[in-house]
Structure 1
Amino acid sequence: MKSDTQLKQDVLDELAFDSALDASRIRVEVANGVVTLAGSAPSLAQTHAAERVAGRASGVRSVLARTRVEVPATDPPGDEAIADMARAVLHWTAGVPQRAVEVEAVKGHLFLRGAVEWEWQRELAIRSLLRLRGVTGITSRVAAHRRMAPRKISERIGRALLHYAEDEATRIHVEISDGVVTLKGTVASEAERAVARGAAWAQPGVSAVIDELVLA
Structure 2
Amino acid sequence: MKSDSQLQHDVLDELEWEPSIDQADIGVAVTDGVVTLSGFVKCYPQKMAAEKATRRVAGVKALAEEIKVRFASDPKTADHEIARRILDMFSWNVSIPDDKIAVKVEHGWVTLSGTVDWYYQSDEARKVAGKVNGVVGVSNLIELHKLPTSGDVKDRIVAAIKRNADLDAASVTVFTDGGKVTLGGKVRAWNERQIAESAAWAAPGVTRVEDNIVVV
Q: Structure 2 length as normaliser, TM-score?
A: 0.51
**Structure 2: which 5+ runs fail to align?**
1-73
CA distance in 2, matches of 1:214, 1:97: 35
Q: Assess if the C-alpha contact under 8 Å between 2:111 and 2:141 holds in 1.
A: yes
Number of aligned residue pairs = 142
Closer/same/farther in 2, CA of residues 114 and 197 from structure 1, 3 Å limit: closer
**Structure 1: which 5+ runs fail to align?**
1-73
Residue 79 of structure 2 corresponds to 79
Residue type at the aligned position of 1:113 = S
Q: Structure 1 length as normaliser, TM-score?
A: 0.51
Can you list the C-alpha shifts for 1:30-89, whole angstroms capped at 9, x where unaligned?
xxxxxxxxxxxxxxxxxxxxxxxxxxxxxxxxxxxxxxxxxxxx9572222111111222
SS across alignment from 2:157: helix
Larger radius of gyration: 2
CA distance in 1, matches of 2:87, 2:183: 36
Residue type at the aligned position of 1:173 = T
Closer/same/farther in 2, CA of residues 176 and 97 from structure 1, 3 Å limit: same
CA distance in 2, matches of 1:126, 1:204: 18
Task: Give 1:197 shift.
Answer: 2.6
Task: Give 1:203 shift.
Answer: 3.2
Residue 202 of structure 2 is aligned to residue 196 of structure 1: no
Closer/same/farther in 2, CA of residues 92 and 149 from structure 1, 3 Å limit: farther
SS across alignment from 1:170: helix
Residue 88 of structure 1 corresponds to 88
Residue 108 of structure 1 corresponds to 108
CA distance in 1, matches of 2:150, 2:112: 25
Q: Percent identity?
A: 29
Aligned pairs for 1:40-189 (under 5 A) are 75=75, 77-94=77-94, 96-97=96-97, 99-116=99-116, 118-120=117-119, 121-165=121-165, 168-177=168-177, 179-189=179-189
Task: Give 1:130 shift.
Answer: 3.5
Residue type at the aligned position of 1:203 = A
Residue type at the aligned position of 1:162 = K
Judge which range, 200-209 or 155-164, deviates more.
200-209
Can you list the C-alpha shifts for 1:11-37, whole angstroms capped at 9, x where unaligned?
xxxxxxxxxxxxxxxxxxxxxxxxxxx
CA distance in 1, matches of 2:183, 2:166: 16
